[in-house]
Amino acid sequence: MLNKKKKNFTATRLLFGCLILLLAQFPSAAQIPLISGDTTKTQRTVYPPDSLGRRSPRGSIDGFIKASYQSNYQKAALYLHRGAGITKRQTVRQAKALQAVLEMNGRIYPYSWISNDPDGKTDDNLGPELDRIGAVTINHASFDLILQRYTDKEGNPIWLFSDQTIEQIPLDIEDLESGTLINNISPAFLQVTKWGGVPAAHWIAIVLLLITSYLVAFGIARLLMYLIPKVIRKAEGDPYPRVIRAFSIPAQLYAAMTLFTFFSREAGVSLVVRQSFSNLTLLVGIIAVILLIWQLIDVTGILTEQRMTRNRNQSAVSAILFFRRALKIALAIIGVIVILDTLGFDVTTGIAALGIGGIALALGTQKTVENFVGSVTLIADQPVRVGDFCKIGEILGTVERIGMRATQVRTLDRTIITIPNGELSSLKIENYAYRERFWFHPTFFLRPETSPDQIRQVIQDLRRVLLTHPRVNPDPARVRFTEIGLNGVKIDIFAYVDTGEMNIFLEIQEELLLQMMEVVKDCGTRFMLPSQTLYMGKDQGMPVKEGPIISTDEAM
């Protein structure tokens, strides 16, 4: 049993540790939050639209990519800031070089991570005028792609590639695109035919790479699932197979997207095509994490249910089922919100509506929530369990059922009393089921005529009865002469009987009392019984005194 508990605990720690590592592997996770950091402002300045869509960082990078892949480099140059002394021709050349660098080793963040607000991101630690939209690696050195906010002739904000970024772009790499793997192996007609300004070979290649990546990830996952039990022997026993299966599908999806991103960049797939699939890779990654958490909830719930079932704690099993469903519902809601935010929908209003609806629901179901919290308290603290004989307030009986709303107690009259858990958690509970021994404390009253020697002998013999019984705990086991009064000579007995069963205690108590009655009888005394003294006599009344008799005539 201890080994199983240890395995369950180790498996749970392994699950959550791997989950944290998985979350940490998202690209640029240290720099970019999962949900867009844009905040809805109560008062937002409305600017007139820019013909090139440069009002926001997302519009600028999207416009640059479309213009450059349509070979309209003069238009693409308008998305670069032209510094002092830089001619228009030089800016066009810089735009071509920037496109080549992005094709070679560029990484543009998914559009859902790039701000679509004229103010840009304010929580990226770059300042209010700068936004990071990707990264580029040249000669094993990596640097960020930074957009900077400028103003146009009318004073409205526009976002352009910053001077800092443009200065790091070499101008002698314009012909690198011809050396990519796809351009070298694809047929000529697929190079000539273009879809969306990009050769058809790139679109076909991205689909083939997606399928290949998943098949490779599937094969690796199956191989690992086969090898892990062979290499690690203890992985064959429960709960490790459940843990491995929980990681199987999410790991396949995440590995497939990781391989897909790597293969597409190394094969030289066009940035336009890669950017079109960027949200797909992000969505699959989010779904993989959500699915993993879903599986972990199931595995953890099943393992906990099994342990509670072994402990015969049926109320905890019911609570675990409820928590599993509640966590899954919450996870589904969070997943939908994250996915909608990734797709570019404004979820701020929806989140606010959920918050208001939650408050209204909480107010309307206050008693239900109170009972639910009470049931959680009962399950966590376990002051009573099913089958316990206890006293709850003024109710004495056996607990028959602990539900999510109320607890049922069967009284000594064999009736059922239902107590709401919210009320039960605040009542005084005396649980007799946890009693490991019974208190034996009879009080004897002997006749007042009992002599001191008889009292000493009675006390000595009563102690012997306690100390010689195998089920009486000797610490303490005392007999004391405590009082003499109207009720006679008072003898107090204090001891504990080592048993937790009521029937056994009653049997031992009966045996001890019979032996003590014999001790009192053998010592020549008796128990003091309630008595009254009745005095009986005949009242003679007042004595009659004789005096002179006065007649009526004499009185006249």
The top-scoring range by mean pLDDT among 83-97, 263-277, 418-432, 444-458 is 444-458
- Mean pLDDT across the chain: 78
Please give the CATH topology (third level) of the domain spanning 366-431: SH3 type barrels. (2.30.30)
pLDDT at 458 over 90: yes
| Residue 275 to residue 111: CA distance in whole angstroms | 8
The region of weakest confidence among 96-100, 425-429, 465-469, 534-538 is: 534-538
What is the pLDDT at residue 237? 60
CA-based torsion, 386, 387, 388, 391: positive or negative: positive
| Residue 227 to residue 4: CA distance in whole angstroms | 23
Per the omega criterion (within 30 degrees of 0), is the bond before 452 cis? Answer: no
Tell me if the domain spanning 438-522 has CATH number 3.30.70.100.
yes
What's the N-to-C CA distance of the chain in angstroms? 121
Strand partners, 417: 409
Tell me the percentage of the chain whose pLDDT exceeds 90. 16
SS (H, E, C) 302-341: HHHHHHHHHCCCHHHHHHHHHHHHHHHHHHHHHHHHHHHH
Q: Using CB atoms within 10 A of its CB, is residue 358 exposed (0-12), middle (13-18) or buried (19+)?
A: exposed
In what side-by-side order are the strands of the sheet with 141-151? Answer: 106-108, 130-138, 141-151, 157-161
Query: By the 8 A CB rule, do 56 and 116 touch?
Result: yes
SS (H, E, C) 484-530: EECCEEEEEEEEEECCCCHHHHHHHHHHHHHHHHHHHHHCCCCECCC
User: Of 3, 515, 8, 56, whose CA–CA distance to 308 is shortest?
Assistant: 8
Read off the DSSP letter of residue 540: -
The region of weakest confidence among 30-34, 37-41, 146-150, 181-185 is: 30-34
Query: By the 8 A CB rule, do 472 and 495 touch?
Result: yes
Burial 300-327 (b: 16+ CB within 10 A, else e): bbebbbebbeeeebbbbbbbbeebbeeb
What is the pLDDT at residue 549? 56
DSSP string for 193-230: SEETTEEHHHHHHHHHHHHHHHHHHHHHHHHHHHHHHH
Higher pLDDT residue, 21 or 241?
241
User: Of 89, 94, 271, whose CA–CA distance to 165 is shortest?
Assistant: 94
| Residue 249 to residue 244: CA distance in whole angstroms | 10
Question: For the segment 254-277, what is each residue's pLDDT rounded down to a tens digit?
Answer: 888 888 888 887 787 777 787 778
Question: For the segment 156-202, what is each residue's pLDDT rounded down to a tens digit?
Answer: 899 999 888 888 887 765 444 446 677 777 787 777 777 766 778 87
320-327 long-range contacts (CB < 8 A, ≥24 apart) are 322/404, 324/297, 324/298, 327/297
**Rounded to two decimals, what is the model's pTM?**
0.55
Mean of pLDDT values over 505-527? 92
User: Of 17, 22, 46, 16, whose CA–CA distance to 34 is shortest?
Assistant: 22
Domain assignments of the chain as residue spans, ordered by start: 2-23+198-312, 57-178, 366-431, 438-522
Higher pLDDT residue, 467 or 137?
467
Residue 263 CB coordination number (10 Å): 19
What is the pLDDT at residue 365? 61
pLDDT at 552 over 80: no
What CA–CA distances, in Å, run from 463 to 324, 433, 456, 457, 459?
58, 29, 11, 10, 6
Is residue 246 helix, strand or coil? helix
| Residue 450 to residue 505: CA distance in whole angstroms | 31
